[in-house]
Protein backbone atom coordinates (compact mmCIF):
# COMPACT_ATOMS: atom_id res chain seq x y z
CA UNK A 1 0.00 0.00 0.00
CA UNK A 2 1.03 3.60 -0.39
CA UNK A 3 2.20 5.75 2.48
CA UNK A 4 -0.53 8.21 1.56
CA UNK A 5 1.87 10.79 0.10
CA UNK A 6 3.26 9.27 -3.11
CA UNK A 7 3.21 5.97 -4.94
CA UNK A 8 6.97 6.38 -5.41
CA UNK A 9 7.46 4.96 -1.90
CA UNK A 10 5.18 2.16 -0.74
CA UNK A 11 4.76 1.02 2.86
CA UNK A 12 3.40 -2.25 4.17
CA UNK A 13 3.04 -3.09 7.83
CA UNK A 14 3.74 -6.76 8.54
CA UNK A 15 3.02 -6.95 12.23
CA UNK A 16 5.75 -4.90 13.95
CA UNK A 17 7.83 -4.74 10.72
CA UNK A 18 7.45 -1.83 8.29
CA UNK A 19 8.45 -2.80 4.74
CA UNK A 20 9.27 0.28 2.66
CA UNK A 21 9.57 -0.22 -1.10
CA UNK A 22 11.19 2.27 -3.46
CA UNK A 23 8.74 2.11 -6.35
CA UNK A 24 10.23 3.67 -9.47
CA UNK A 25 11.36 0.56 -11.37
CA UNK A 26 11.17 2.42 -14.70
CA UNK A 27 13.97 4.69 -13.37
CA UNK A 28 15.86 1.92 -11.53
CA UNK A 29 14.39 3.42 -8.33
CA UNK A 30 16.30 6.67 -8.71
CA UNK A 31 15.26 9.42 -6.31
CA UNK A 32 13.65 12.71 -7.26
CA UNK A 33 12.25 15.31 -4.82
CA UNK A 34 8.91 13.57 -4.49
CA UNK A 35 10.59 10.25 -3.67
CA UNK A 36 12.78 11.87 -1.01
CA UNK A 37 9.86 13.50 0.78
CA UNK A 38 7.84 10.29 0.63
CA UNK A 39 10.74 8.30 2.11
CA UNK A 40 11.03 10.87 4.91
CA UNK A 41 7.33 10.38 5.64
CA UNK A 42 7.83 6.60 5.80
CA UNK A 43 10.79 6.95 8.17
CA UNK A 44 8.76 9.29 10.39
CA UNK A 45 6.02 6.66 10.45
CA UNK A 46 8.50 4.02 11.60
CA UNK A 47 9.71 6.21 14.47
CA UNK A 48 6.32 7.56 15.53
CA UNK A 49 4.25 4.36 15.69
CA UNK A 50 4.88 2.40 18.90
CA UNK A 51 3.65 -0.80 17.27
CA UNK A 52 6.44 -0.70 14.65
CA UNK A 53 9.75 -2.10 15.90
CA UNK A 54 11.92 -2.64 12.79
CA UNK A 55 12.01 -1.24 9.24
CA UNK A 56 13.11 -2.84 5.98
CA UNK A 57 13.92 -0.82 2.86
CA UNK A 58 13.88 -2.56 -0.51
CA UNK A 59 13.37 -1.70 -4.17
CA UNK A 60 10.80 -2.71 -6.78
CA UNK A 61 11.62 -4.28 -10.12
CA UNK A 62 14.89 -6.02 -9.30
CA UNK A 63 17.01 -3.06 -8.19
CA UNK A 64 17.54 -1.31 -4.87
CA UNK A 65 18.32 2.19 -6.17
CA UNK A 66 20.47 3.78 -8.87
CA UNK A 67 20.83 6.91 -6.73
CA UNK A 68 19.72 10.41 -7.68
CA UNK A 69 17.45 10.96 -10.66
CA UNK A 70 19.86 12.83 -12.94
CA UNK A 71 17.12 13.51 -15.51
CA UNK A 72 15.07 15.33 -12.87
CA UNK A 73 18.18 17.22 -11.78
CA UNK A 74 18.91 18.22 -15.38
CA UNK A 75 15.43 19.73 -15.61
CA UNK A 76 16.28 21.96 -12.66
CA UNK A 77 14.23 20.12 -10.04
CA UNK A 78 15.59 21.14 -6.67
CA UNK A 79 13.06 21.77 -3.94
CA UNK A 80 13.66 22.00 -0.19
CA UNK A 81 15.21 18.89 1.31
CA UNK A 82 13.24 16.79 3.80
CA UNK A 83 14.13 17.29 7.45
CA UNK A 84 15.95 13.92 7.44
CA UNK A 85 18.20 15.09 4.61
CA UNK A 86 18.84 13.64 1.15
CA UNK A 87 16.64 10.75 0.02
CA UNK A 88 14.59 11.37 3.18
CA UNK A 89 17.02 9.43 5.37
CA UNK A 90 20.70 10.31 4.84
CA UNK A 91 21.22 12.97 7.49
CA UNK A 92 18.98 11.52 10.19
CA UNK A 93 18.03 7.85 9.86
CA UNK A 94 15.28 6.49 12.10
CA UNK A 95 16.07 5.77 15.73
CA UNK A 96 14.68 2.24 15.25
CA UNK A 97 16.67 -0.48 13.46
CA UNK A 98 16.47 -0.53 9.66
CA UNK A 99 17.53 -3.34 7.32
CA UNK A 100 18.40 -2.81 3.64
CA UNK A 101 17.21 -5.65 1.38
CA UNK A 102 19.24 -5.24 -1.80
CA UNK A 103 18.61 -6.75 -5.22
CA UNK A 104 20.39 -5.59 -8.35
CA UNK A 105 22.13 -2.24 -8.10
CA UNK A 106 22.67 -0.10 -4.99
CA UNK A 107 24.89 2.61 -6.40
CA UNK A 108 25.55 6.29 -5.78
CA UNK A 109 22.88 7.55 -3.42
CA UNK A 110 21.47 4.02 -3.41
CA UNK A 111 24.62 2.75 -1.71
CA UNK A 112 24.67 5.77 0.59
CA UNK A 113 21.13 4.88 1.62
CA UNK A 114 22.34 1.36 2.49
CA UNK A 115 24.96 2.97 4.72
CA UNK A 116 22.10 4.71 6.58
CA UNK A 117 20.71 1.28 7.45
CA UNK A 118 21.89 -0.82 10.39
CA UNK A 119 21.98 -4.19 8.66
CA UNK A 120 22.33 -5.10 4.98
CA UNK A 121 20.98 -8.20 3.25
CA UNK A 122 22.03 -8.55 -0.39
CA UNK A 123 21.31 -10.95 -3.21
CA UNK A 124 24.39 -12.78 -4.35
CA UNK A 125 24.44 -10.92 -7.68
CA UNK A 126 23.85 -7.45 -6.17
CA UNK A 127 26.28 -4.65 -7.06
CA UNK A 128 27.37 -1.74 -4.86
CA UNK A 129 29.33 1.37 -5.77
CA UNK A 130 29.94 5.10 -5.62
CA UNK A 131 30.30 6.04 -9.30
CA UNK A 132 29.94 9.80 -8.78
CA UNK A 133 33.58 10.56 -9.64
CA UNK A 134 33.00 9.27 -13.19
CA UNK A 135 30.87 12.39 -13.77
CA UNK A 136 33.07 14.72 -11.70
CA UNK A 137 30.43 14.64 -8.96
CA UNK A 138 31.23 14.20 -5.26
CA UNK A 139 29.26 11.69 -3.17
CA UNK A 140 27.87 14.02 -0.49
CA UNK A 141 25.16 11.70 0.86
CA UNK A 142 27.38 10.36 3.65
CA UNK A 143 29.21 7.69 1.68
CA UNK A 144 32.65 9.28 1.86
CA UNK A 145 32.71 9.40 5.65
CA UNK A 146 30.55 6.37 6.49
CA UNK A 147 32.18 3.91 4.11
CA UNK A 148 35.73 4.14 5.60
CA UNK A 149 34.25 3.58 9.06
CA UNK A 150 32.89 0.23 7.92
CA UNK A 151 35.46 -1.01 5.42
CA UNK A 152 39.26 -1.14 5.48
CA UNK A 153 40.69 2.21 4.41
CA UNK A 154 42.14 1.06 1.09
CA UNK A 155 38.98 -0.81 0.02
CA UNK A 156 36.83 2.23 0.82
CA UNK A 157 39.28 4.50 -0.98
CA UNK A 158 39.33 2.28 -4.06
CA UNK A 159 35.53 2.35 -4.24
CA UNK A 160 35.41 6.12 -3.83
CA UNK A 161 38.22 6.92 -6.30
CA UNK A 162 37.60 4.29 -8.99
CA UNK A 163 33.83 4.44 -9.10
CA UNK A 164 33.86 0.70 -9.80
CA UNK A 165 31.08 -1.55 -8.57
CA UNK A 166 31.77 -4.31 -6.03
CA UNK A 167 29.99 -7.64 -5.59
CA UNK A 168 27.94 -8.49 -2.53
CA UNK A 169 30.17 -11.50 -1.78
CA UNK A 170 33.24 -9.26 -1.50
CA UNK A 171 31.49 -6.78 0.77
CA UNK A 172 30.23 -9.62 2.97
CA UNK A 173 33.82 -10.77 3.46
CA UNK A 174 34.75 -7.28 4.64
CA UNK A 175 31.74 -7.13 6.99
CA UNK A 176 29.63 -4.52 5.19
CA UNK A 177 26.92 -7.03 4.19
CA UNK A 178 25.35 -9.12 6.97
CA UNK A 179 23.55 -11.79 4.94
CA UNK A 180 23.74 -13.07 1.36
CA UNK A 181 20.59 -14.42 -0.28
CA UNK A 182 19.88 -16.06 -3.59
CA UNK A 183 18.73 -13.60 -6.29
CA UNK A 184 15.12 -12.60 -5.71
CA UNK A 185 15.17 -13.61 -2.04
CA UNK A 186 16.74 -10.56 -0.36
CA UNK A 187 13.45 -9.31 1.09
CA UNK A 188 12.51 -12.74 2.47
CA UNK A 189 15.95 -13.06 4.06
CA UNK A 190 15.66 -9.55 5.52
CA UNK A 191 12.28 -10.44 7.02
CA UNK A 192 13.82 -13.55 8.61
CA UNK A 193 16.57 -11.39 10.08
CA UNK A 194 14.03 -8.84 11.34
CA UNK A 195 12.01 -11.59 13.00
CA UNK A 196 15.10 -12.63 14.95
CA UNK A 197 15.39 -9.07 16.25
CA UNK A 198 11.73 -9.11 17.29
CA UNK A 199 12.48 -11.63 20.04
CA UNK A 200 14.18 -8.75 21.84
CA UNK A 201 12.68 -5.73 23.56
CA UNK A 202 11.85 -3.02 21.00
CA UNK A 203 12.69 -0.05 23.23
CA UNK A 204 16.05 -1.68 24.02
CA UNK A 205 16.62 -2.28 20.30
CA UNK A 206 15.99 1.39 19.54
CA UNK A 207 18.18 2.58 22.43
CA UNK A 208 21.03 0.21 21.50
CA UNK A 209 20.92 1.32 17.86
CA UNK A 210 20.86 4.99 18.86
CA UNK A 211 23.83 4.71 21.22
CA UNK A 212 25.93 2.91 18.61
CA UNK A 213 24.90 5.44 15.94
CA UNK A 214 25.68 8.53 18.01
CA UNK A 215 28.79 7.23 19.77
CA UNK A 216 31.02 7.49 16.69
CA UNK A 217 31.77 11.07 17.68
CA UNK A 218 32.02 10.57 21.46
CA UNK A 219 35.12 10.29 23.62
CA UNK A 220 35.02 7.53 26.23
CA UNK A 221 34.13 10.04 28.94
CA UNK A 222 31.35 11.53 26.84
CA UNK A 223 30.05 8.06 26.10
CA UNK A 224 29.53 7.25 29.80
CA UNK A 225 27.45 10.39 30.20
CA UNK A 226 25.69 10.55 26.84
CA UNK A 227 24.46 6.97 26.74
CA UNK A 228 22.32 7.26 29.86
CA UNK A 229 19.55 9.60 28.62
CA UNK A 230 19.11 7.31 25.62
CA UNK A 231 19.24 4.10 27.66
CA UNK A 232 16.76 5.44 30.22
CA UNK A 233 14.04 5.47 27.55
CA UNK A 234 14.27 1.68 27.57
CA UNK A 235 15.08 1.23 31.25
CA UNK A 236 11.98 3.20 32.29
CA UNK A 237 9.72 1.63 29.68
CA UNK A 238 6.69 -0.61 29.98
CA UNK A 239 8.57 -3.15 27.85
CA UNK A 240 11.33 -3.51 30.44
CA UNK A 241 8.78 -4.29 33.14
CA UNK A 242 7.14 -6.79 30.81
CA UNK A 243 10.50 -8.39 30.00
CA UNK A 244 11.33 -8.95 33.67
CA UNK A 245 7.84 -10.22 34.43
CA UNK A 246 7.92 -12.64 31.50
CA UNK A 247 11.32 -13.96 32.62
CA UNK A 248 9.98 -14.60 36.14
CA UNK A 249 6.89 -16.29 34.74
CA UNK A 250 8.91 -18.36 32.23
CA UNK A 251 6.97 -17.15 29.18
CA UNK A 252 7.62 -15.13 26.06
CA UNK A 253 7.21 -11.38 26.59
CA UNK A 254 4.49 -9.42 24.82
CA UNK A 255 6.19 -6.27 23.62
CA UNK A 256 4.33 -2.96 23.22
CA UNK A 257 7.08 -0.68 21.92
CA UNK A 258 6.67 1.71 24.82
Residue 239 host element (H or E) = helix 238-248
SS (H, E, C) 18-84: EEEEECCHHHCCCECHHHHHHHHHHHHHHHHCCCCCEEEEEECCCCCECCECHHHHHCCCCCCCCCC
Nearest residue to 58 via CA among 94, 106, 13, 97: 106
Q: Which of 103, 112, 164, 210 is catalytic?
A: 112
Q: Specify whether 103 is catalytic.
A: no
Phi, psi of 181 (to 5 degrees): -115, 170
CB 48 within 8 A of CB 54: no
Q: Which of 132, 158, 182, 222 is catalytic?
A: 132
Q: Is 136 exposed, middle or buried (CB count within 10 Å of its CB: 0-12, 13-18, 19+)?
A: exposed
Q: Specify whether 242 is catalytic.
A: no
Nearest residue to 112 via CA among 125, 131, 134, 126: 131
Phi, psi of 211 (to 5 degrees): -65, -45
Euclidean distance between CA atoms 61 and 25, whole angstroms: 5
What amino acid positions are annotated as catalytic residues?
A: 112, 132
Amino acid sequence: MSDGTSNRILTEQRGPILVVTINRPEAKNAFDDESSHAMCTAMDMLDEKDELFVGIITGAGGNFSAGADLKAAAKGERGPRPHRGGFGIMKRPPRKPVIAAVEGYAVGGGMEMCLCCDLIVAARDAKFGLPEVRHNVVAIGGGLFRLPRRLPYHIAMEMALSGEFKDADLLERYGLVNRISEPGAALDTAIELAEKLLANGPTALAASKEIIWQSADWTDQEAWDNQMPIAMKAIDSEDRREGLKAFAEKRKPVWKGR
